[in-house]
Every structure is written in C-alpha cells, then in structure tokens.
Amino acid sequence: MKILRRSILALILIITAGFAIFHYDSKEYNKENEQDYINKVCKMTKNQAVAVGIIDGDKDIFLEHSAARGQTVDKHTMFELGSTTKAFTGLGILKLEEEGLIKADDPVTKYIGWFKPQYKGADAEITIRQLMNHSSGIPVYSISLIPEGDESKVSLEETVRKIADIKLDNEPGKNHNYATINYDVLALIIEKVTGQKYEDYITDTVLREVGMTESFFRIKESDRERIIPGRKAGFFGSWNYKAPTYYGNTAAGYLVSNTNDLTKWMRYVSKNIPFDSFPVSDSNIYYAGWYLYPETIFHGGNNPNFGTQVVISQDGRLGVFVLSATAGDVAVKIADGLYGMHLGYPAKIGLYISSQELEDFLFVIATLLILYIALLLKYKHKWACLVAGIVILAGVILFPLISHFSYRFLFVWMPFSFTVMMAVFIAFAVWLISKAFLNHINMGE
C-alpha cells in the first residue's frame, strides 16, 4: 500500500511539472511570424482548428491552423460563434429602435405580458436597455435552465418562460450581471414586434445588409454537417464532442459563420454602429453585445465545444476575429496577441494554460488525490468512514440545489475528466459507507 501511495504522489508531481513545462514558451512573436504564434498556442492547448480574420487598414488577412487528420481550415470553414452572436441580436434591437417600433426604456412587459421576474417578493420591471447591458438582475445560473432541443422540440418562448418568474439577484438597473438568457428575452421581443422568427429577422435585416451570405443559425441537428466538428478537453487532450442543440438560446450563441463573412462584419460594425452614443458608465461598459473601452470594442464567446473572440479598434482601422473549435479562452489569447502585433507590439506566450485545460488538470489531479486518500485511510475507524462517506454523498446531492447548476449542464460544459472525477467521488463515498457497515458487522456490534 505504501508503495502504491508513493507512486500516486510521484505521478501527481510528474504530471504537474510536465504540464507546466509543456505550457511555457519564451519566444517573442511579431507580425512577421504571427502564424508561428497561432501554431504554438494551438499546439500547447491541443487545439485542432482555428481560423483568424484580420482587418488592417484596407487589407483583409486570413490565417488558419488545422491539426486534425483529414481536416482543413480556410476562410470558408464554419464555426459556431457562441456569445459573439449577441452583437447581432443587439443590432437587431437597435434597428427596431431606430425605426420607432420600440424604445430602449420600454418595460419588457409591454411586449411580453407574462414576463414577471421577482425581486424581494414583488414583480420587478425590467427594461429593454437593462437586458441590453446585462443589468436586469437575472442570475447567471439561468443559463442552466435553457432546455435542450432543436427547433422541432423547443421554442424560444418556452425558453423565456423558464425564467418568467425567476428571483433576481439584484434590483434591475443596479449592477452589471452577465446572464446569457437576457439576449433570448430580446429575441422574443424581436419576434413579438416583427411577427418573424428571430433568425429570419436577423438574416433579412442584418446578415444580408452586411453581405454575410455564408452565415446561418444552427437551429436543427442536421446543421452540424455544415460546421467543423467542435471539441472538448479531457485527460490532457481534446476530443470530438457533439454538444446538444439549444434552439431557445439561438440569439445568444448559435450564429454560425466564417472569417470570410466576419471580416465584412467587422468593417460594417466600424462604419455603421454609433458606439460613442451607447449608454455606458464607469460601472457598466457593456451594451448591445459589446464591451466598450476608449480605444477598443470587444466580445468573447463560448459554446460547449467552440470559442471565439473579436477585438476592433474604435477608429475601425484594426480588427481581429478568432474562431476556435474548442471552448475556453484560446481564442482570447490568440486575438489579444495578434491585435497587439498589428499595433507594433511584440507578444510573448509565457506560461499559458487555457481555462478548459486548467479545469481538466484539476479534475485529473483531484481524481488521483481521491485514490491516494482511499489508500491512506484506516478503515477500522468505522464512524469516521461513515461520516466522511455521508458528507461526500450529501455534497454531491446538494451541490446542484445550492449552485442552481444541474449535473447535466456541468457534464455538457465541463471537460470529460469532470465526469470521471464525479464517478470516483461517488464510488469513494459508497466505499467508505460500506466499509463502516462491514466493520460494524465484523466487530459483532
């Protein structure tokens, strides 16, 4: 037993050291070797597919990385945009406002009479503006309430009804609290006002105007055939993963596009959206699907198996849009590095571990530590084993009730190693309880 325990500890140390070494790069990169920068970040993070669109002055630049066997990536390769879809929904609302069909300070109930979230035991009045800047008070965990299914099984209204009487985290308008479902509510308002499906309205009034002829919304299962396979982290690698379809969340995460269309989008945004008129403040710099800073506008996006990041200069001269076939912050790392290079600043990767990889690493280490503890415990202490087993099982059972995040949601969004870790946790708890009862029987008590 002692040898096995020491072997597990040694394995943990080896994995940790190797993981850190593999994720460190000291090289300096600039615009002349930006492709090397992309390749290195992708290699470090096991990212199999990335596409980059850059607007730099009058030039459009397209860069790609593909490591999957038999798979190529170019400017026409389609990726899910995740939350960068929100900017398209935001523009749809801005167009309706410009046409006088809605007002930003209208209450949601003007268009959706049954939408009555609660604050301190009373109906709360949320405005369109508060949805647009994520100050509605709708809690972050509401994303886990979005039902699974494509357009044949789930409706947008059904999704919004899931939060029709939800308890708000704070009074509407007081705090910025990013909740993806805010933009699904906006999509339902678009449908109520226009009489069109959300995706049809955005296609007709936004995508066509921009010239995004290749982009579409993933609203049914068969749409996967037109998109590059998305991947999810697990056990220090990335693996193909078919994430569920969430039709009710289309407006907040399921526009599908490519860098050929998105370079057009960046140019359109720079010329046609009056960001200087957006109602932002020191406490909230978000509006209409964009974070706004004095020199840049940006947004990131994540679906369970895709990640994106867009950064555009306020003057419209420079923009970078990164599409990644894995979730996490890989697209952010690449976009920030490339944006700086095109401003003339060299980039260093340094020690970089993507968020998905870090989660995967922690889950693997936690699993090994559970095994170590199992070998370390002296099972003759029956009461200690019983209490420990009950506490662990209670924690597993109560976690989704306390956090409001279901295990189904976590299994979809977390790396594959999360599922294994949870299975080991449960098995360990059951083992402890059974040992306690066996000791009780053997001792004749």
**pTM, rounded to two decimals:** 0.96
CB 307 within 8 A of CB 247: no
> Please, what's the b/e burial string for 395-425 (b: 16 or more CB within 10 A of its CB; e: otherwise)?
eeeeeeeeeebeeebbebbbbbbbebbbebb
What is the predicted pLDDT for the residue at 380?
59
Distance between CA atoms of residues 164 and 302, nearest Å: 25
CB 415 within 8 A of CB 358: no
What is the predicted pLDDT for the residue at 17?
98
- What DSSP line would sit under 78-125, residue for residue? -EE-GGGGHHHHHHHHHHHHHTTS--TTSBGGGT-TT---EETTEE--
Q: Which of 148, 247, 135, 145 is nearest to 191 (CA)?
A: 247
- Confidence label for 378 from pLDDT (cuts 50, 70 and 90): low
Q: Which of 295, 181, 175, 300 is nearest to 248 (CA)?
A: 181
Mean pLDDT of 69-86: 96
Structure-block tokens of residue 274? 């009056």
What is the predicted pLDDT for the residue at 411?
97
CB 324 within 8 A of CB 238: no
CA angle (140 as vertex; 135, 144 as ends), nearest 5: 140
What is the predicted pLDDT for the residue at 224?
94
Q: How many other β-carbons are positioned within 10 Å of the β-carbon of residue 45?
A: 25
**pLDDT one-digit tens code per residue, 15-55:** 999 999 999 999 999 999 999 999 999 999 999 999 999 99
Q: Which of 420, 425, 426, 83 is nearest to 233 (CA)?
A: 420
Asked if the model's pLDDT at residue 89 lies above 90, the reply is: yes
**pLDDT one-digit tens code per residue, 215-258:** 999 999 999 999 999 999 999 999 999 999 999 999 999 999 99
Distance between CA atoms of residues 370 and 364, nearest Å: 10
Residue 204: partners with Cβ closer than 8 Å, 6 or more residues away: 196
Q: Which of 195, 203, 314, 300 is nearest to 250 (CA)?
A: 203
Mean pLDDT of 179-183: 98
Mean pLDDT of 362-381: 86
What is the predicted pLDDT for the residue at 36?
98
Asked if the model's pLDDT at residue 158 lies above 50, the reply is: yes
- Determine the residue type at 92: G
Backbone angles phi, psi at 300, to 5 degrees: -115, 165
- Confidence label for 445 from pLDDT (cuts 50, 70 and 90): very low
